[in-house]
Amino acid sequence: MRKTPSAGLWRYIIVFPMTAVLSCSSLVSAAEWERSAGLSLGAIYSDNLCLSKENKESDVIATATPNVRLKATGARARIDLYAAAQFSTIENSDIDCGVGGSNSISPAPRIRFNGNAELLENWLYLDTTAFADQNRINPFAAGGEDALDGRNNLNTSYQYSVSPFVSRRLTPSSRLFLRYRYSEEFNSENQVNDNQRQEVDFDIGTSPELTRLSVGISAKYSDIDYDNREGGGDFFNSQLSSAQLRSAWQINRTWQINAYVGEEWNDYVTVFQDSDGGFWDVGVTWTPSTRVTVQAGTGERFFGSAPRASVEYRHKRSALRASYFRDLTYDRSLRGQDLFANNIDDLLDGGLPGQDEIFGPEGQQTTVSNSPILREQFLLSYHFGAQRTSFTVNASHSEQTRAVDGYKDSFIYAGVGATRQLSSKLSAYTHLSWNRRKPDEARSAVDRESDVARFILGLNRKIGQRTSLALSYQYSERSSKSALNEYEENRIVFQFRYQL
């Protein structure tokens, strides 16, 4: 069931980011602002809006997508905002998909906001964030592929956070760090519970960046409160806390050895016998140049081994990022994290394929759970950009075990995209992606494994300094162990874009 956003909700997701921008503006008043706004008008023909093998419905849908971008960096503050909303006419069409009618999201919002400010010099700081985007309610059911959803399988999540923190150097080589973070999540669908989270991080000791041998003590605490709706409430509220002793030895400019040992105390609903206990980790960091960073380590936590590895390579024209780890997280955290982007620039440049077309689910894939999730994840992201050609490869494999019932779900994604400038006004782009979602065998009677493949080929032509036209063809195919969830869809998308 869909909830209508209340005035209070819109205050948090729209007024809050703008208030944060204005509150920081005095600190970045000396900086140069980057401002842009635009409007995209589109017409989409689909031969299967219901995403059904038998009940195919074709129609032409109109869309309108305004967007805005604000960015500034000053001596004591930085802000970055991207916001867009996609309106469509599908809810006014006569399409009947046999699942309670067409239940697309219009408008479909997309918000990314990051801001930080130095409130007291070398002492008190403030971080703020805001996020809004779509995600699937049930990742194993058909539908929810984008905002033109005729299968009632799409949710919109709104998140914001406020995080004041103290970072103070005590001696030339030691510092004190204390952070408090408050965040809330609101969801458009009743199946996904609203919640509030509080977090506290503390660290005191010598810094690895300032001395060859560093040691310190750190502690963390967080709690989540769920609203009393659709299986939420006090029963599923959870707390995570830990304390550790850390150390690092900088052998030389290139090599570092690091380790920590500690204890964690957790309280949440779980079917597993262990939920807390002692932990340890030991690893190395190799930095042969400013462009390359390699980290590797292994450890032990209450859920078993906790290996980790990461590689980052940065070049003038390319960037490579790969990682593997096991950790404990929440579905709200996964919904609010962009998988292939570290910042908004990355998001708009390869981390969000087709973002100018039809808004689709963003954030990381996950299931709805009111208890922590044990995640084992591999991630690969590569981007190359030359004068006329850009190329992007993204891949991920995430194994997620829900503490509340022990179900282990698997999500695999691979995508490749390219853009080629054919002339001063004409460019071509293509994107190919494949997505496998595999539920735990214990619930295979209801949720089935599926593969979704999508191919996009398009042209973009500039017709003025601020205007352009785009035409693309899209083909999607879903195969499943349940014939009711299989389909093929062909789309033709035409767009007129105006950017200030």
Tens of pLDDT along 294-315? 999 999 999 999 999 999 999 8
Residues of the chain with confidence (pLDDT) below 70 = 1-31, 98-104, 228-234, 344, 346-360
Residue 274 CB contacts under 8 Å (≥ 6 apart), including other chains: 302, 303
Supply the Cα-derived Rg of the chain in whole angstroms.
24
Q: State the pLDDT at residue 351.
A: 46
How far is it, in rounded angstroms, from Cα 128 to Cα 132?
A: 14
Q: State the pLDDT at residue 99.
A: 60
Contact (CB, 8 A) for 106 and 90: yes
Q: pLDDT tens for residues 340-384? A: 777 767 666 654 444 446 666 777 888 888 889 999 999 999 999
Contact (CB, 8 A) for 110 and 362: yes
How far is it, in rounded angstroms, from Cα 66 to Cα 207?
A: 45
Residue 31 CB contacts under 8 Å (≥ 6 apart), including other chains: 72, 73, 74, 75
Q: Which ranges of 15-156 does DSSP label H, i.e. alpha helix?
A: 16-25
Q: Which domains does the chain have, with CATH numbers?
A: 7-499 (2.40.170)
Q: Model's pTM, two decimal places? A: 0.90
CA 498 vs. chain centroid, Å, equals 27
Sign of the four-CA dihedral 363, 365, 371, 375: negative
Residues 176-204, buried b or exposed e (16+ Cβ, 10 A)? ebebebebbbbbbbeebbbbebebebbbe
Q: State the pLDDT at residue 26.
A: 59
CA 303 vs. chain centroid, Å, equals 25
Percent share of the chain, pLDDT over 90:
57
Q: pLDDT tens for residues 444-483? A: 777 889 999 999 999 999 999 999 999 999 999 999 888 7
Q: pLDDT tens for residues 19-47? A: 655 565 555 565 678 889 999 999 999 99
Q: pLDDT tens for residues 316-327? A: 889 999 999 999
CB atoms within 10 A of CB 446: 10
Percent share of the chain, pLDDT over 70:
87
Q: State the pLDDT at residue 13.
A: 56
- Side-chain-side CA neighbours of residue 66 (13 Å): 3
Nearest in space to 388 (alpha carbons), one of 416, 364, 420: 420
Contact (CB, 8 A) for 148 and 44: yes
Distances (CA, A) of 61 to 41, 88, 135, 435, 459: 11, 7, 21, 26, 20
482: three-class secondary structure by DSSP: coil
Strand partners, 165: 125, 179
How far is it, in rounded angstroms, from Cα 242 to Cα 237?
A: 17
Burial zone of 305 (CB within 10 Å; 0-12 exposed, 13-18 middle, 19+ buried): exposed
Q: What is the DSSP letter of 442?
A: G
